[in-house]
Amino acid sequence: MSDSIDIINAFALMTNFVIIPAISYGSQLALGALAVTLVYSVLRFSNFAQGDSMAFGTMIVILLTGFMINQGWIISGIPTALLVIPIAIIGTAIYLLSMDRLVYKFYRTRVKPKTITFCIASIGVMFVTGGLVRFIIGPRPQTFADGERFIFSVREFKAFTGLEQGIALKTSQFLTITIAILLVAFVFYFLQKTKTGKAMRAYSDNEELALLSGINPDKVVQVTWLLVAALTTIAGALYGLDKGFSPQQYHLLLLPIFASVIVGGIGSPLGAIAGAFLISFSEVLLTYAYKKFLIYLLPLSMHPNSLVQLIGTEYKYAISFVILVIVLLIRPTGIFKGKVLHDYG
């Protein structure tokens, strides 16, 4: 290792271990946060079942992937999961729509339903969904990524650039970022430009006036669940390809997702995405061990002896909460001026 200051290698190190993973994780959170935002805006409750719904969608992806590989229906180089996502979305949509029909609709059709009722009901749906997933696929962690593992590996990067530090781009990371951009663009286009999307916004803005304009609330609710199913399944599958699947892990994803939504501004789709990246970068930056990075940047005499890790990775969920508390204290409306929490009731 050189003893001079080496900015390029320091930057390569940062890119490989912080920037790319954080962008990838942030994209996965953003899709989940967008789903929570849609449910919040249109159905007016915070969906506690989001994490477990992602587990449900991913479970279908895993089962279908296994089936496809068994049958030999694979395209070399491409993760099989990618091929089965559309079918998994349909499966998740059917599940979410059934839950809506069985649970949420019952409360929605009552006179003056309270938001908190739906929140508590969604906690029930969360436990049922989580249980169902564990029952069907088991509680153990699983990996289901096949195909080419890297777009380019550390070794290839080093050989190409001659740098001491390499940068790798995993297929799952590349897919995550590309698909997230496309999906977010689609959702925004849908909400801003299509008649159905505008009807969803109108219903979210003023339910009674939407009804008076002839907008069918049942259809708005159905389309919302369809979009949520797509976002949920894709977010879950991408997270699983990147980091592996386990029901417990997905259940806990609810925490950073809720933090993203609140930090960004409740009810604001753009805020949800901004919040997701704020949370992901905070998590990765605060749990990264900076020893090597500092060795590149500091003269020999100042090289650190410790790992220079601010917070242990086991505390990463606490980071979401600290950010959450700070935002609620300083700017309760979130970055993008969403609704304040007490508007819930």
C-beta of 112: minimal distance to other proteins in Å? Answer: 11
Cβ atoms within 10 Å, residue 147: 17
Contact 123, 48 (CB under 8 A): yes
C-beta of 336: minimal distance to other proteins in Å? Answer: 12
Whichever of 116 and 209 has its CB closer to other proteins, that residue is 209
x-or-dash string of contact with other proteins, 21-60, rule CB under 8 A: ----------------------------------------
C-beta of 214: minimal distance to other proteins in Å? Answer: 4
Query: Using CA atoms, how far apart are residues 222 and 224, in angstroms rounded to an integer?
Result: 5
Taking CB under 8 A as the criterion, which residues in 195-254 touch other proteins?
195, 198-199, 201-202, 205-206, 208-216
DSSP string, 51-116: HHHHHHHHHHHHHHHHHHHHHT---TTS-HHHHHHHHHHHHHHHHHHHHIIIIIHHHHTSSS--HH
C-beta of 47: minimal distance to other proteins in Å? Answer: 21
C-beta of 271: minimal distance to other proteins in Å? Answer: 13
Whichever of 215 and 235 has its CB closer to other proteins, that residue is 215
What lies within 8 Å, CB to CB, of 121 at 6+ separation is: 103, 104, 107
Whichever of 215 and 253 has its CB closer to other proteins, that residue is 215
- Residues that contact other proteins, how many (by CB under 8 A): 16
C-beta of 245: minimal distance to other proteins in Å? Answer: 37
Contact 58, 239 (CB under 8 A): yes
Taking CB under 8 A as the criterion, which residues in 179-198 touch other proteins?
195, 198
- Residue in this structure with the two tokens 């777009």, named with its chain if needed: 151
Whichever of 60 and 266 has its CB closer to other proteins, that residue is 266
Whichever of 178 and 192 has its CB closer to other proteins, that residue is 192
Whichever of 20 and 223 has its CB closer to other proteins, that residue is 223
Whichever of 143 and 206 has its CB closer to other proteins, that residue is 206
Contact 306, 342 (CB under 8 A): no
Three-state DSSP at 304 gives coil
- Residue in this structure with the two tokens 């790992």, named with its chain if needed: 307
* Gyration radius of the chain over CA positions: 22
Query: What is the distance of C-alpha 314 from the center of its chain?
Result: 19
C-beta of 201: minimal distance to other proteins in Å? Answer: 6
Whichever of 74 and 202 has its CB closer to other proteins, that residue is 202
What lies within 8 Å, CB to CB, of 111 at 6+ separation is: none
What lies within 8 Å, CB to CB, of 169 at 6+ separation is: 20, 150, 151, 152
Contact 279, 324 (CB under 8 A): no
C-beta of 42: minimal distance to other proteins in Å? Answer: 13
Interface contacts to other proteins, rule CB under 8 A: 195, 198-199, 201-202, 205-206, 208-216
